[in-house]
Structure 1
Amino acid sequence: MDTQHTQRRYNVHEAKTHFSRILQLVETGEEVIISRAGEPVAKVVPLRAKVSRTDYGALRGQVHVPDDFDELPDDVADAFGMR
Structure 2
Amino acid sequence: MRHVQVTEAKAAFSGLLAAVEAGETVAITRRGRVIARLVPDTPSLAADAFRPFWGMHEEIDLVAPDDRPPEPVATL
Q: Give 1:43 shift.
A: 0.7
- Whether 2:55 is the aligned partner of 1:47: answer no
Distance 1:39 1:20 in 2: 22
Code of the residue aligned with 1:46 in structure 2: it is: P
- Whether 2:26 is the aligned partner of 1:32: answer yes
Question: Where does residue 10 of structure 1 map in the other structure?
Answer: 4
Distance 1:8 1:24 in 2: 13
Code of the residue aligned with 2:16 in structure 1: it is: I
Q: Give 1:48 shift.
A: 2.2
Code of the residue aligned with 1:38 in structure 2: it is: G
Number of aligned positions between the proteins: 43
Q: Calculate percent identity across the aligned residue pairs.
A: 44
Q: Scaled by the length of structure 2, what TM-score is found?
A: 0.54
- Kindly report which structure 2 residues correspond to 1:49-68, keeping only aligned pairs within 5 A, or say none: none
Instruction: Give the superposed CA RMSD.
Output: 1.2
Code of the residue aligned with 1:10 in structure 2: it is: V
Which is greater in Rg?
A: 1
Unmatched tracts of structure 2, length 5 or more: 44-76
Question: Where does residue 20 of structure 1 map in the other structure?
Answer: 14
Partner SS, residue 33 of structure 1: strand
Unmatched tracts of structure 1, length 5 or more: 1-6, 50-83
